[in-house]
Amino acid sequence: MAKPVTQFVCSACGATHKKWAGRCDACGEWNSIQEETPLSMGPGAKGLGGMKGKGMALTDLATEERPPARDGSGIAEFDRVLGGGLVGASATLVGGDPGIGKSTLLLQAAASFARTGLKVIYVSGEEATAQVRMRAQRLGLGDSPVKLAAETNLRDILTTLDTEKPDLVVIDSIQTMWLDTVDSAPGSVSQVRAAAHELVSFAKRKGVSVMLVGHVTKEGQIAGPRVVEHMVDTVLYFEGERGHQFRILRSVKNRFGPADEIGVFEMTGGGLAEVPNPSALFLSDRQARAPGSVVFAGIEGTRPVLVEVQALVAPSSLSQPRRAVVGWDGGRLSMILAVLEARVGISFQGLDVYLNIAGGMRISEPAADLAVAAALLSAREDEALPATCVVFGELSLSGALRPVSQAENRLKEARKLGFSSAIAPEGCKITDGADMDLKLMPDLARFTGDIFGAG
Ligand code: TYD
Ligand code: MG
């Protein structure tokens, strides 16, 4: 008889190892490896053993398929991120740091869906029903016909769902759910994986949409959501800085719509409020004509968003000057500093550099390169850009400026918010300049020379 085998699983990436180690070879994460009894390798497990199944149905690519029907929640920012509303029998994961507002968001969404006539069940594994009810009343949702339960045993949950046949179930959170057939603690990778698998296959089989809440810490320490990402149709991340009131719901994967779409919310005393015009909000605290401040005309998903890029450059007392970034990629900052030094001879040696995206926004678009370079130069030269100017463009290592997509959309949004000039790469496709004063630049040398008289 085979001995019970245990294996070691990385909670960040799900890779399995024969031995415990402090660091996962597969993803490089520290302290993420946990001991587990694998699902299919306990004593007596035989695999399929050569037995025949009942086969599967094959169809053609040409089979007629209509776009999926969608239900709107009435919260426009939420529906937008889903790709235009909730798709029936879909599975969605909403991940985010603890305390960021996932339960609040999903309770509000559940209540909204219920008000449109969907049958909605909200299952909390973290709070008692009285707590959820109190929160709902505080959010002014007390009259919404959502059904509540506080339960963590998935067998009991699925039994009720099977008889109730709701349209939507919210599970808050996947880390608290457990199956009595899996021999490890709730929150472990095996439990989270098995629970998510049960819920997702239930959704597909019974035509019920499920939304799973998943906690992730910045260090990826808590087990689960990464392995769940592959099972679900849609992965949304709810992000924001704890000290800021802005929250951004971002789709990182969506089988039914565009990825990278964002919805913007504000956390208020009465729950999450929609922010229909994020650009105005992100720019609301901006000091016009401050050195180091540049407005970047970005695109998030399908929507243009203006954000302020702030840089501070100061003499350093350290032998290894500081490079600190909030809301952008640190590696990309080093690259831009290197390009400035190598291609236009502007050095940041002996200078501390701080870069911040205002409002708690996180940007990953390469189109922000030129705005970052402009903010760095502006801070270093202590010279402000015109207050009415927006900047966008990708920087290549040669110092050339690469055109970016959707230039006209970026300009239109800038125009709408009262900006009258723009600096952009020469190759951008712009047939309708939207009445803007355009400065199109071929490379970084022209840019530094024309705008800052440097280089
Ligand atoms: P919560 O939804 O419980 O976060 P998560 O489920 O992601 O852990 O929200 C937690 C924070 O939100 C909490 O610190 C208080 C704050 N909050 C408000 O500011 N206003 C509100 O109306 C609510 C319900 C919460
Ligand atoms: Mg919660």
- pLDDT per position as a tens digit, 141-154: 989 999 999 999 99
**pLDDT(289) > 90:** no
Check if 102 has its Cβ closer than 6 Å to any atom of ligand 1: yes
Q: What average pLDDT does the segment 383-396 reach?
A: 95
Q: Is 407 helix (H, G, I), strand (E, B) or coil?
A: helix
How far is CA 398 from its chain centroid? 31
DSSP 182: S
- Ligand 1: which atom is nearest the Cα of residue 173? 6
Check if 125 has its Cβ closer than 6 Å to any atom of ligand 1: no
Per DSSP, the residues of 220-264 read: --SSSHHHHHTTSSEEEEEE--TTSSEEEEEEEEETTS-TT-EEE
| pLDDT band at 276; cut points 50, 70, 90 | confident
Q: Whose CA is nearest to atom 12 of ligand 1?
A: 101
User: What span, in angstroms and rounded, lies between the C-alpha atoms of 307 and 367?
Assistant: 12
Ligand 2 centroid – CA 100 distance (Å): 8
User: What span, in angstroms and rounded, lies between the C-alpha atoms of 194 and 262?
Assistant: 30
Q: Is 146 helix (H, G, I), strand (E, B) or coil?
A: coil
Residue 88: other Cβ atoms inside 10 A? 15
Q: What is the pLDDT of residues 225-247, one digit of tens each?
A: 677 888 999 999 998 877 778 89
Report the DSSP beta bridge partners of residue 93.
212, 235
Check if 175 has its Cβ closer than 6 Å to any atom of ligand 1: no
98 touches 127 (CB < 8 A): no
**pLDDT(274) > 60:** yes
Check if 96 has its Cβ closer than 6 Å to any atom of ligand 1: yes
**pLDDT(368) > 70:** yes
64-73, 267-276, 372-381, 413-422: segment of lowest average pLDDT: 64-73
Q: What average pLDDT does the segment 131-135 reach?
A: 95
434 or 90, which is more confident?
90
Check if 101 has its Cβ closer than 6 Å to any atom of ligand 1: yes
Distances (CA, A) of 437 to 377, 386, 391, 434: 21, 12, 12, 9
Exposure class string for 316-327: b at 16+ Cβ within 10 A, else e: eeeeebeeebeb
Q: Treating both helix axes as pointing N-terminal to C-terminal, what angle do 154-164 and 189-206 enclose, rounded to 10 degrees?
A: 10
**pLDDT(43) > 50:** no
**pLDDT(371) > 80:** yes
pLDDT value at residue 1 = 47
**pLDDT(41) > 70:** no
**pLDDT(428) > 50:** yes
Domain locations in the chain? 1-40, 70-276, 281-452
Ligand 1 centroid – CA 31 distance (Å): 29
Q: What is the pLDDT of residues 296-315, one digit of tens each?
A: 999 988 889 999 999 999 99
Q: Tokens in use for 381?
A: 């030269």
Which CATH number is associated with domain 70-276? 3.40.50.300
Check if 104 has its Cβ closer than 6 Å to any atom of ligand 1: yes
User: What span, in angstroms and rounded, lies between the C-alpha atoms of 455 and 447?
Assistant: 9
pLDDT value at residue 42 = 47
**pLDDT(26) > 50:** yes
Q: Whose CA is nearest to atom 16 of ligand 1?
A: 101
pLDDT value at residue 2 = 55
What single-letter amino acid sits at 410? Answer: R
Check if 110 has its Cβ closer than 6 Å to any atom of ligand 1: no
Strands 209-215 and 91-96: parallel
- Ligand 1: which atom is nearest the Cα of residue 271? 22
Check if 108 has its Cβ closer than 6 Å to any atom of ligand 1: no
What does pTM read for this prediction?
0.82
Q: What average pLDDT does the segment 356-385 reach?
A: 93
Please give the backbone phi and psi of residue 267, each rounded to the nearest 5 degrees, phi first: -85, 115
User: What span, in angstroms and rounded, lies between the C-alpha atoms of 278 and 280?
Assistant: 5
**Average model confidence (pLDDT) for the chain?**
89
Which CATH number is associated with domain 281-452? 3.30.230.10
Ligand number with the minimum distance to the CA of 175: 2
- Ligand 1: which atom is nearest the Cα of residue 138? 22
Ligand number with the minimum distance to the CA of 266: 1
Q: What is the pLDDT of residues 163-181, one digit of tens each?
A: 999 999 999 999 999 999 9
